[in-house]
Amino acid sequence: MTRPEIQATDTWNSWLPFFSSNPNLFLQISQCTSWNEGIASPVLNVWRPGYFGVSLPRIGSDPIKLNGSNDLIVTLHGDDIMETLKAKGSGESNSQSTGSAVGIEITPHRFFRCRVCYCHRGTISLPIGELWSFTEIDGEHYQFKRVDDGVNKSVPTRSLVWQFCNSWAPPKDLPADLPFAVNRDARVCRINELGNDYEPRFGKSLAVMNREGCVLFDEVESKMAGIQSDAKQWLILLSALAIARYEGWLVN
């Protein structure tokens, strides 16, 4: 995944002189099947909620309220976001548009709270109604846990982590032909096989992200068998987007 540099565009006429009351386009995400084959047309649009925020309904649960300046909405490219939100609000859960809008809620740390102690960082809402909360553990990794009612508690918990590269040497299990250098700013996605926050056991790498907004992953479905999600590629991509937004890599 890569992020073209585009100027944020408000697609509706605002009745306020400086603020938009509607979601406005923030950036676009393009996908290519191989990093050396060039970039295809944009496939995802990323929106800011608007000055007064927006309520994004979820299937069978309370809506997600996106009010903060760091919060984001993601839709399939070409979808009308207002029609999508109207459809979700009407309960039409079978149409394609109702399953395409997802939310990312970011909770930035306050200046009087330690980044380690105040570890909650936000939530992501997947298009099929799954809700994942993410935390920061000791400045070592971000951990994403599913927190909605659809969790099967009889199955051992597996969480998704994005590990900090605290060494200039890239992890040995990453591909050798990556199109960018894996340095201290990189984040590597893995599964926490034990589900323990502070004594994790990391599995093999699933994806890698650099500071420029490039995310590479391959065959994640087969590698994520222990993750309780029916939208595994969405989970990889949106968790990366949430981290990039929280880290401040995506500027307004």
- Give pLDDT tens digits for 145-173: 998 888 888 888 789 999 998 766 678 88
Amino acid at 6: I
Strand 207-209's sheet: what is its strand order?
24-30, 42-48, 72-76, 102-106, 120-125, 131-137, 141-146, 159-164, 187-192, 207-209, 215-217
Q: What percent of the chain has pLDDT over 70?
A: 73
pTM of the model: 0.83
Q: Which two tokens stand for residue 31?
A: 């996908």
Query: CB burial class (10 A; 0-12, 13-18, 19+) of residue 28?
Result: middle
Task: Say if CB 94 and CB 109 are below 8 A apart.
Answer: no
First-to-last alpha carbon distance for the chain, in angstroms, is 19
The pLDDT score that the predictor gives to residue 124 is 93
Position 174 pLDDT exceeds 80: yes
SS3 119: coil
Q: Hey, how many other C-beta atoms are within 10 angstroms of the C-beta on 212?
A: 11
Position 246 pLDDT exceeds 80: yes
pLDDT mean over 235-245? 93
Q: Hey, how many other C-beta atoms are within 10 angstroms of the C-beta on 115?
A: 11
The pLDDT score that the predictor gives to residue 244 is 92
* Nearest Cα to Cα of residue 134 among 184, 212, 189: 189
CA–CA gap between residue 149 and residue 42 (Å, rounded): 33
- Measure CA 57 to chain center: 17
* Nearest Cα to Cα of residue 50 among 81, 84, 87: 81
Query: CB burial class (10 A; 0-12, 13-18, 19+) of residue 19?
Result: exposed
Q: What are phi and psi of 85, to 5 degrees?
A: -65, -40
CA–CA gap between residue 78 and residue 130 (Å, rounded): 23
The pLDDT score that the predictor gives to residue 214 is 86
Q: How confident is the model at residue 137 (pLDDT cuts 50, 70, 90)?
A: confident
pLDDT mean over 63-88? 78
The pLDDT score that the predictor gives to residue 13 is 45
The most confident of the ranges 42-46, 56-60, 101-105, 243-247 is 243-247
Q: How confident is the model at residue 114 (pLDDT cuts 50, 70, 90)?
A: low
Q: What are phi and psi of 225, to 5 degrees?
A: -60, -30
DSSP of 229-245 = -S-HHHHHHHHHHHHHH
Q: How confident is the model at residue 235 (pLDDT cuts 50, 70, 90)?
A: very high
Task: Say if CB 46 and CB 241 are below 8 A apart.
Answer: yes
pLDDT mean over 228-248? 91
Q: What are phi and psi of 202, to 5 degrees?
A: -80, 135
* Nearest Cα to Cα of residue 250 among 24, 46, 31: 46
Position 213 pLDDT exceeds 60: yes
Q: How much is the mean pLDDT over the chain?
A: 77
The pLDDT score that the predictor gives to residue 191 is 92
Position 210 pLDDT exceeds 60: yes
The most confident of the ranges 73-77, 188-192, 221-225, 247-251 is 188-192
pLDDT mean over 113-124? 72
